[in-house]
Amino acid sequence: MIFNQFPQTGWAAGQSATFERYNGGVERSDARRLSIAAALVVIAFAGACTSSPSATQRGAEPVAVPVANFSPAPSTVGSGSGGAMADDGSLSDDGSMANGVSLSDGVSGPRAISVQDGMATLLDETHSLTDPASPWVIVNKTTQLSPDYAPTDLTTPNLPIAGGNGSLRLDAANALTALSKAAEAELGQPLQLVSGFRPFDYQGNLYRNYFAEHGQERADTFSARAGFSEHQSGLAADVTEVGGDMNNFGATDLGRWTAENAWRFGFIVRYTEANRGITGYMPEPWHLRYIGEPLAKYYHGSGAISLETLFGLPPAPNYS
């Protein structure tokens, strides 16, 4: 088996969003008629409420669904506006989209993402959260990759590379090339890839060196054990300025630009201060995780702070 099962303590719940509209410019002569009509609606609504179930009884409150033991109806995560995804990944309230795609799961009401049996769906894309070949695979301290797993489509992106781990999966490599070219066009400097794909044994040696120098408790906050690293998936890239210190990347103009624009090319900054308690890792502004443009766009617009919260998975700050 490639992965351990997700713990049964995880929960996924839908969220709802309320949109209000203001319609100004009402003529004075209509004001009285409108207020009378509004009063009648309030009276009618109040009467209906006295004989109707409560909001909770009607199922208005989201129902939590165990991640590893899904019910027949899919759990849902994200905005419940029933709208569509705008250019910045946010959801509109009119149910329309330029390409005509609606963000409704068709089962438990309008939602952006549905998750069932380890499979996640966003719009017309469905990918596994447990298959290491999936662009949406979850790699954290509770899910372990097989020692012999390596992507079959590793390639070298076209940007400056430092060190010997300069390959990524094909889609991630192409996206990183595009991200670097955009940075060079807008800021005058490209990105430099410091580390991409790392095999199981390489990661094990790296972790053992940190363990010997800093001890287990400290090492676990900034280095993954063998099999638990996103780098083995071929979807993670550590980047910095050309010739720059990776530890200072977040404070540079290029680092800030990358954090603000990576989603446009299918990447997210995986480890941040906001999700430290979820991932168990210190912030790493240099660590980009490729998830593809549609999901990165939604991640950016949804306000999610980690892939775990996006998919309704449990926090994974510690090894099982």
Write the DSSP assignment of 32-55 as a string of letters.
HHHHHHHHHHHHHHHHHHHTS--T
Question: Has residue 86 been placed in a domain?
Answer: no
Token couple for 46: 């109040």
Task: Tell me whether residue 296 is in a domain.
Answer: yes
**Any domain includes 82:** no
In one-letter notation, the amino acid at residue 109 is G
Note whether 269 and 291 are within 8 A (CB): no
Does 242 reside within a domain? yes
Residue type, 164: G
* Whether 74 contacts 14, CB under 8 Å: no
Alpha-carbon gap, residue 66 to 8, rounded angstroms: 6
Q: Which residues contact 296 (CB under 8 A, 6 or more apart)?
A: 89, 262, 263, 264, 265, 266, 267, 268
Q: Phi, psi (5° rounding) for residue 114?
A: -120, 145
Inside any domain, residue 301 = yes
Residue 270: which H helix or E strand, with range? strand 267-271
Instruction: Look at residue 60 and tell me if it is in a domain.
Output: no
pLDDT, tens digit only, all 320 positions of the chain: 333 333 333 323 333 222 222 233 333 334 344 344 444 433 333 443 333 333 222 222 222 222 222 222 333 333 333 334 555 554 443 332 222 223 332 222 234 899 999 999 999 999 999 999 999 999 999 999 999 999 999 999 999 999 889 999 999 999 999 999 999 999 999 999 999 999 999 999 999 999 999 999 999 999 999 999 999 999 999 999 999 999 999 999 999 999 999 999 999 999 999 999 999 999 999 999 999 999 999 999 999 999 999 999 999 999 98
The phi and psi torsions of 77 (rounded to 5 degrees) equal -130, 140
Q: How far is CA 24 from CA 27, 28, 202, in A?
A: 9, 12, 64
Beta carbons within 8 Å of 208's beta carbon, 6+ residues apart: none
Structure tokens at 77: 């995560």
Are 90 and 103 a contacting pair, CB within 8 Å?
Answer: no
Domain containing 199 equals: 154-311
* Residue 281 lies inside a defined structural domain of this protein: yes
Domain count, the chain: 1
Single pTM value for the model: 0.70
Q: Determine, yes or no, domain membership for 26.
A: no
Q: Among the residues of 238-314, which ranges form H helices?
A: 253-261, 276-279, 293-302, 307-311
Measured CA to CA, the distance from residue 197 to residue 164 in angstroms comes to 10
- Contact status, residue 125 vs residue 294, Cβ threshold 8 Å: yes
285: CATH:
3.30.1380.10
260 is catalytic: no
CA atoms of 153 and 134, how far apart (whole Å): 12
Which residues, other chains included, contact 70 with Cβ-Cβ below 8 Å and sequence gap of 6+? 115, 116, 117
Number of alpha helices (DSSP H) and beta strands (DSSP E) in the chain = 8, 12
Q: Which of 186, 213, 273, 284 is catalytic?
A: 284
